[in-house]
Amino acid sequence: MLAVGTFTLGMDSFVLSGLLPEIARDLGVTVAAAGQLTTIFSVVYAVGSPVIAAVTGRWDRRIVLAGGMITFLAGMILQATGPDYPIVAAGRVLAAIGAAAFQSNAYAVAGTLAAPQRRGRALALVAAGATISTVIGVPFGVLAGQWWGWRTAMWLIAGLAMISAVVVPLLPAVKLATTGLVERLRVVVRPSVLLVLVNAMLVLMPGFIMLTYLPVIVAPAIAGTLLVITLVARGLGQVVGTQVAGRLVDSRGPMPVLITGSIGSVVALGLLIMDRGVPWAAMATLLLAGFFVGLLFVPNQARMFTAAPDVPVVAVGLLGSVLYVAAAVGSALGGVALHVGGAGWVVIVGLAVQLLAAVVLVGQRAHRGSGSSLIV
């Protein structure tokens, strides 16, 4: 049930990128201005996620989840019916508030309801909705824009949101926080939580660098229909990797999975530097890269439950904020690399950041072996 919600939110994010030209034409703005709708959503989500989690800490999670999805639904309806850019932008703000309320709580509920030895698989199951949306979101957005128009696509996502809002009350009652508001907010400065957030920023940023500029990186060898197939292949690799990560986290712990995913990503990006001009070799490499990227998200969530067992929903909310910050910073770094050195340098920058992440994680693993309580 929770995966339906994360799938809905993921579809909204990925579908929009395929609809930007149609939105720009319909609203009478530039494509760049239409692209700012994504920025608006990201900023509101990044700020709102931990704040909403802290303020609603004592509430029944079903109320927060249902309220979040209903708010998201209202935002989608506003976008689908908005006659001009300001109204559609207001719909993005409303949708972001709803997404911020739903997403972190979905993972917190999954991790809390599951037995500790099955927490990784529970988190991976909820994450499956988001990862599957990466496979079909962009192609669906492009096709929807061509066949039905962007407003119809918004209505379809609104329909998914309605289904999610209806099924949430079927969950068992869950109340997570027993601490006060001040204690919940203090998790922001807890050293072990900050360390996980920095780690997450490093390991996830290269994936966003690559995903943002992938069409440029593999052009002209891969374009058109072959590019769509390549994006789907990378997404499928990530779906498989996410589910494997859940099982490995339960059996091996989160840190070995993070290290494996990070080192594997370094290898995949190194291969891509060499074969990005060879279509089928590049597609195979990107399938592999997607798999290793899939190993990186669930372990960070699992670490948050250890770093902040008393306020997991706030900690997971912070992780969601970092995800959007990593996307923004990664896209900016990739843009600078593309401007300065060309498409090849985008891959090199991604590889350099991922290599740094791998070195940091290996160093932390060794430090934890010496008895440090800071590293979870």
pLDDT tier at 172 (50, 70, 90 boundaries)? Answer: confident
Residue 112 in this model has a pLDDT that exceeds 70: yes
Q: Percentage of the chain surpassing pLDDT 90?
A: 50
Do 137 and 59 share a structural domain? Answer: yes
Do 165 and 260 share a structural domain? Answer: no
What letter represents residue 312's amino acid?
Answer: P
Do 142 and 70 share a structural domain? Answer: yes
Count of domains forming the chain: 2
- How confident is the model over 109-132, as a mean pLDDT? 89
Structural domain contains residue 220: yes
Which of 99, 76, 93, 81 shows the shortest CA–CA distance to 40? 93
Looking at 112, 142, 176, which one is the last position of a domain?
176
Strands annotated E in 92-203: none
The pTM is what? Answer: 0.87
Structural domain contains residue 38: yes
DSSP 235-295: HHHHHHHHHHHHHHHHHH-HHHHHHHHHHHHHHHHHHHHHHTTSHHHHHHHHHHHHHHHHT
pLDDT tier at 257 (50, 70, 90 boundaries)? Answer: very high
User: Does 59 or 86 have the greater pLDDT score?
Assistant: 86
pLDDT tier at 180 (50, 70, 90 boundaries)? Answer: low
Structural domain contains residue 182: no
Residue 139 in this model has a pLDDT that exceeds 60: yes
What letter represents residue 174's amino acid?
Answer: V
- How confident is the model over 187-194, as a mean pLDDT? 88
Cβ–Cβ contacts within 10 Å for residue 225, how many? 8
Write the CB contacts of 312 (distance below 8 Å, at least 6 apart in sequence).
108, 111, 112, 176, 304, 305
Q: What pLDDT shows up at residue 249? A: 96
The enclosing domain of 202 has a CATH number of 1.20.1250.20
Looking at 128, 144, 176, which one is the last position of a domain?
176
Structural domain contains residue 231: yes
Cβ–Cβ contacts within 10 Å for residue 30, how many? 11
Instruction: Dump pLDDT digits (tens) for 310-324.
Output: 888 888 889 988 988
pLDDT tier at 15 (50, 70, 90 boundaries)? Answer: confident
Do 229 and 148 share a structural domain? Answer: no
pLDDT tier at 158 (50, 70, 90 boundaries)? Answer: very high
**Dist. CA 142–CA 75, nearest whole Å:** 21
Residue 184 in this model has a pLDDT that exceeds 90: no
Q: What pLDDT shows up at residue 114? A: 86
- How confident is the model over 60-81, as a mean pLDDT? 94
Q: Out of 232-241, 267-276, 331-340, which region has the weakest mean confidence (pLDDT)? A: 331-340
Do 191 and 171 share a structural domain? Answer: no
Domain that holds residue 200: 187-376
Do 204 and 168 share a structural domain? Answer: no
Do 221 and 81 share a structural domain? Answer: no
Residue 251 in this model has a pLDDT that exceeds 80: yes
The answer to whether residues 311 and 57 touch, using CB atoms and an 8 Å cutoff, is: yes
Place of tokens 């926080």: 177
Q: Out of 56-60, 121-125, 147-151, which region has the weakest mean confidence (pLDDT)? A: 56-60
Do 349 and 250 share a structural domain? Answer: yes
Do 170 and 191 share a structural domain? Answer: no
User: Does 82 or 143 have the greater pLDDT score?
Assistant: 82
Structural domain contains residue 181: no
